[in-house]
Structure 1
Amino acid sequence: MKLFITGIGTEIGKTVCSAILTQYFKADYWKPVQSGDLHYTDSMKIKDWVENEITYYPEAYRLQLAASPHQSAAEEGKLIRVDDFQLPETSNPLIVEGAGGLMVPLSDQELMIDLMEKLKLPVVLVVRNYLGCINHTLLSIMALKERGLTLEYLILNGVFPTDTERVIINYIEKRTKIIRIPDVDSITKESITTIANNLKIEYNG
């Protein structure tokens, strides 16, 4: 089981969801691009939050500026190329966490979805409720279909109005499984483990 975690935008809980899935699947973890927050990277957060003894693979790019990867790389005179990424070799399950959403630019020519297409991993799409989330979710689903990427799991992160949830689920394929993750007030090893231990995967249809 190898999965690529993406989201419909930034600050919607991808790293928390990645921690929960890393715990649940007893997976290794890889963040290909860390843009900013090098003092406390997403890999460091996962190490703090996940109870399992797992392998954390080093980022292909560690960039200082907390901005879109193409801007952060340009600030350091670097050019991110999708062809430079190699999926870590492991016989364990693997959680790969992207930066931002599908259309986040890695360079002026390539986007995060280009990396996802190269790695050819099933996708986990993290959705959080806010005004506009339906639009962003459906556009993301359409983009994944257009690239021939499999939406393996849809994560509904937090509480959703029934009407919002119904429309979103109506646009995913029957093979896409649904995971509901509650709001996490305090992110600790204990809270992540509790959620992972109680995780339920729903089959759509």
Structure 2
Amino acid sequence: MSKTIIVTGTDTDIGKTVFAAGLAAALGARYWKPVQSGLLDGTDADRVEALGVPRTHILPEACRLATPCSPHLAAEIDGIAIDPDTLALPTNGGALVVEGAGGVLVPVTRTLLFADVFARWNQPVVLVARTGLGTINHSLLSIEALRARGVPILGVAFVGEPVEDSEAIVATLGKVRRLGRLPRLDPLNAETLAAAFKDSFDLEIFR
């Protein structure tokens, strides 16, 4: 199987989908969001397409949940049973960027966390972290949770305005690679994201 990279985050709404879109577009990789919660305002697949990933490179979700909340609860509200076996990684078709939902310890079911799924996959994970207040604690806790399960960590990618001390101490204390920082973009579109991603990250690290 060609290289797979898992994109997870320290929390929800921190820029994880934007980073995943930028990475998939830059690598010419396929994008997969195995579990999507909340369909009313569009899906993350729709967003990454708008941000430069061709629809032909976007794989269908394994589980689509209408209710916008944690997958375990959304599935119960929607009357759907999430079968962990349906979350097996695609095994062919080239490079793949997989985006989790929310943070590392978000429950997929009442007995299974996303970190547990990542451990089953055993593929390198990029932890996306915002640069704002609280990021040190959230990042280090997420790193510990991944390491406790033996999940390989490629590094941490920051999103937001530069905060040098926070970014440096997360990398130092977490003993992880500091991959770079994606600034908040205005406007945010396929062109501005592609340019910012090229300037912010060394793509060879992800290949």
Using structure 2 for the length normalisation, give the TM-score.
0.90
Deviations 1:62-94 (A, max 9, x none): 000000101110012222232331212334211
How many residues matched?
202
Using structure 1 for the length normalisation, give the TM-score.
0.91
Deviations 1:49-68 (A, max 9, x none): 11557521100110000001
Alpha-carbon distance in 1 for matches of 2:40, 2:117: 22
Among 21, 24, 44, the residue aligned to 2:23 = 21
Q: Structure 1 stretch 17-26 or stretch 53-62: which is displaced more?
A: 53-62
Larger helix percent: 2
Q: Any runs of at least 4 consecutive aligned residues in structure 1 with deviations exceeding 2 A, and if so which? A: 51-54, 81-84, 160-163, 171-174, 196-203
Contact in 1 for aligned 2:24/2:53 (Cα 8 Å): no
Q: Which residue of 2 aligns with 1:55?
A: 57
Partner of 1:198, secondary structure, is helix
Alpha-carbon distance in 2 for matches of 1:153, 1:166: 12
Q: Which residue of 2 aligns with 1:90?
A: 92
Contact in 2 for aligned 1:81/1:110 (Cα 8 Å): no
The Cα of 1:101 is off from its aligned counterpart by 0.5
Contact in 1 for aligned 2:49/2:55 (Cα 8 Å): no
Deviations 1:139-187 (A, max 9, x none): 011111111111113101122322212211112336x351221111222
Contact in 2 for aligned 1:82/1:118 (Cα 8 Å): no
Q: Which residue of 1 aligns with 2:5?
A: 3
Segments of structure 2 that go 5 or more residues without pairing to the other structure are none
Q: Which residue of 2 aligns with 1:195?
A: 196
Contact in 2 for aligned 1:23/1:196 (Cα 8 Å): no
Alpha-carbon distance in 1 for matches of 2:41, 2:92: 27
Q: Which residue of 2 aligns with 1:167?
A: 169
Give the RMSD, CA atoms, in angstroms.
1.9
Among 41, 44, 60, the residue aligned to 2:43 = 41
Identity of aligned residues (%): 36
